[in-house]
Amino acid sequence: MASSSGCFFVVTMAILSQFLLAPASALINREYIDANCQRVKNKSFCVQTLTTYPPAASATGLLPLAEAVVSLAVAHAEKTAGFAAESAKKEAALTTQFNECHDAYVGIVASLKSANLQLKDTPDTANYDVMVSGDEIKRVKDTVGKNIDKSSKTLMEMTLQMEKLLDLAAGATDAVDDDDENVHRRA
């Protein structure tokens, strides 16, 4: 009896603490997510993606949020670079094309990593680094966009997702840049 009521107490507290703690932290961080998502093409995609990505949802300022968003984009770019490299080995007839796409994604990974290093001190450069990845996206689309094989189609789907994540990263770095300019103006 004692142990079952003890157990009930623990479960009750566990459930209660979720109600007590979750909304408070969600409220704080929505402020930054909303500020970020004002600046992107698809606001609902932005809010949906960032509220369900724990490093973004738990970020406590525009800078850590931008770092989380750029890291999310880096992870997707690395995964896609790996897929392109694998496809280059598997699809003998399309090796050159997939290698070209792999190179494009290696370029995106490098730009985004550079963006994350620039964010704190020169956010305008970080924003530029994110924007230039658009050229690499175009290179991928021009290379495999019209192909009908399964690997090309998968690569194009991953590229459309990459485009959306780059838009979020552009918004995030832009938000940090604006914030930075406001601080300088006030100073």
Q: Which one of residues 44, 92, 146, 183 is an interface residue with ligand NAG (CB under 6 A)?
A: 44
Does residue 3 touch ligand NAG according to CB under 6 A? no
Nearer to ligand NAG, 16 or 160 (CB): 160
Does residue 53 touch ligand NAG according to CB under 6 A? no
How many residues line the site for ligand NAG (CB under 6 A)?
4
- Minimum CB separation from ligand NAG for residue 45, in Å? 3
**Residue type for position 157:** E
Q: How far apart are CA 127 and CA 85, in angstroms?
A: 28
Interface with ligand NAG in residues 66-85 (CB under 6 A): none
- Minimum CB separation from ligand NAG for residue 73, in Å? 16
Does residue 38 touch ligand NAG according to CB under 6 A? no
Q: How far apart are CA 47 and CA 62, in angstroms?
A: 14
Are 33 and 57 within 8 A, CB to CB?
A: yes
Q: Hunting for tokens 């990459």 — which residue is that?
A: 162
- CB-CB neighbours of 107 under 10 Å: 17
Residues 6+ apart with CB under 8 A from 23: none
Does residue 45 touch ligand NAG according to CB under 6 A? yes
> Site residues (CB under 6 A) for ligand NAG?
42, 44-45, 48
